[in-house]
Amino acid sequence: MNFKLQQKINAFVSDPKFSEVLSGSIYTIGAKVVATCLGLGVSAFTAKFYGAEMMGTLSLIISFLMFGTMLSVAGMNVSILRFIPEHVTRYSVKSAFLVYKKILYFVLVVSFLLGIFFFFTSEVIAERVFSKPQLAGLFALSSVF
């Protein structure tokens, strides 16, 4: 039984397409581990030197940025992973690239408009949504990014 399992693993690893996927997955998981460790280090640094109040403010601003990113990307990041390879297969690489450019322009325009909207409504967001008017400047600054 162990020998059959080892043969199957060797067959998977020797397949060039699978080894490419495996190596890409290893790089991806490595990058995620490094990013998580850096985030943990920054969080520990912030909590130690700036206290719990600043840590809460940081979490609030990060959540605000994630919300803005979610709205501006509008699910395009997931759909493009499925759509582009299908488009390449049916039509051409050039056609898929044109679709990718249109999606990129759409995301840039929506991001710009949302940034302007959030910039000018940062005081309302800080006061009415979060009841923290002192954070209006931070919301305005984060909307620029």
Residue matched to tokens 């979610």 = 70
Measured distance CA(109)–CA(37) in Å, rounded: 33
How would residue 50 be classed by pLDDT, with cut points 50, 70 and 90?
Answer: confident
The arithmetic mean of pLDDT across residues 102-126, rounded, is 90
Burial code (b: 16+ CB inside 10 Å, e: under 16) for 49-88 equals: eeeeeeeebbebbeebeeebeeebbeebeeebeeebeebe
* The pLDDT value given to residue 36: 94
> Does the predicted TM-score (pTM) go above 0.75?
no
Residue 1 has pLDDT above 70, yes or no: no
Range of 106's domain? 2-144
Please tell me the total count of domains within the chain: 1
Query: Using one digit for the tens of pLDDT, what is the confidence trace for 115-139?
Result: 999 999 999 888 888 888 888 888 8
Average pLDDT, the chain: 84
Q: How far is CA 103 from the centre of its chain?
A: 16
SS3 66: helix
